[in-house]
Structure 1
Amino acid sequence: METNYSEETKKNFLTWIVQPNIEDFFEEHKTEINYTIMGYKFLKETYENNGRFDKDDMFKSFFRSFYYMRYIKKEYADFIFEEMDNVIRETLSLKMLKLEDVTKRICRGESIQFSFITKLLNLKNDELFPIYDSKVALVFHFKELMGTFDEKIKELCVRYDVIRKTYENLLNEDKTRYFLTMFNGQFKEATTLSGMRILDIVFWQKGKYIDENV
């Protein structure tokens, strides 16, 4: 099942990016994509300057607004920021980080904020950690999440691996490299972003379009 999700999404994406109207899609959503790029760069630069998620109230407020996470209680959000700082400090190598364990540690007794956690990890290293988001999940045609607390987290981690492997495979494709060059030509501020992060943005934008039009 994991392979099917990855291969189908990869095939659909490579077909989509060579369509004659792909530039029209970006032109139509240019303002929103530019806002996404600039907002993300602000968050990443602020985090890199601070060295922590939990240091700057303005950073935390903008993060929750930018990622549409105002619905999360401030106390819980502040706890996640603080605990993610602890996780990163305690982890010898981010490549060894066990996302399932981290999610259980942070979310036990509360709602599962898997997307929140991946968005923070993405700020730490956007080449290693893509973002899991409900809009991205639509592009992958993931089904409704079912099961117990632990089962849901395990499934989310499986899905996350599918997304990451799909992006990694896509970045090895000549069509994707050409597409990234075209994207950077249209969005000059994106040239400092990793290929993984650009795919994140494009998949989110496509998922938003699906959500609003299908």
Structure 2
Amino acid sequence: MIPSRTQSRRGLTFIEFVMALAITAMVAAAIGAMVSAVATGEMSRRDNRGTVVRTYAAKTRLSAYLARCLSVLDVGSVDAVVWLNDWRSGGTVHASELRWLVFDNANKSIRVYYVDFPDEWNEVQRALQDIEYVSGTDWSAVLNSYTSDGYVSNMTLVDGVNSMTITTNQPNAVDSTSITFDIGFLLEATGETLNRSMTITILRHQPPTA
């Protein structure tokens, strides 16, 4: 009688077990990195598309004030004061004709401030408070004065803004016929800032006469 042979099975050694775990971990990490890269890439593409839309919207809203304004009166690093119109006539600047475009770092937005008298006032009351100013006036002081009296309103023009600088094409702001905004839009997916530059031409440039 021929004795039967039994085929022995060798189990995994400890080293092989550790190697298997390491390989599994490496594969899982690679898959995770790939999924993360795809997700980040998709978010980045969405952010880029969103920034294009926001850039267009920002230029459109800023142009609504600047393209049709008469003159830029003053420009700081993060704000600009414009003479929007001469609706009181005479070629001089009145408080109600001013617009302050300001970067609000706390709220990450560009806001416009303007003098807004009470609706119940008649024209005589408005005229008495609508003070006339000359070029070179401290426009920040004007805004602060009307704000303290409760006659200033504001609204957001552009949000999601992380930084802003303003330049003009002439050293003296009043002589400028174009104004450039360099805006840093905040990307929500990465927390990074994407910079966009937009130049707006003042179509009917008219400096004040005084």
**Bigger CA radius of gyration:** 2
TM-score (norm 2): 0.29
Pick 1 or 2: higher relative contact order, CA cutoff 8 A, min separation 6. 1
More helix by percentage = 1
TM-score (norm 1): 0.29
More strand by percentage = 2
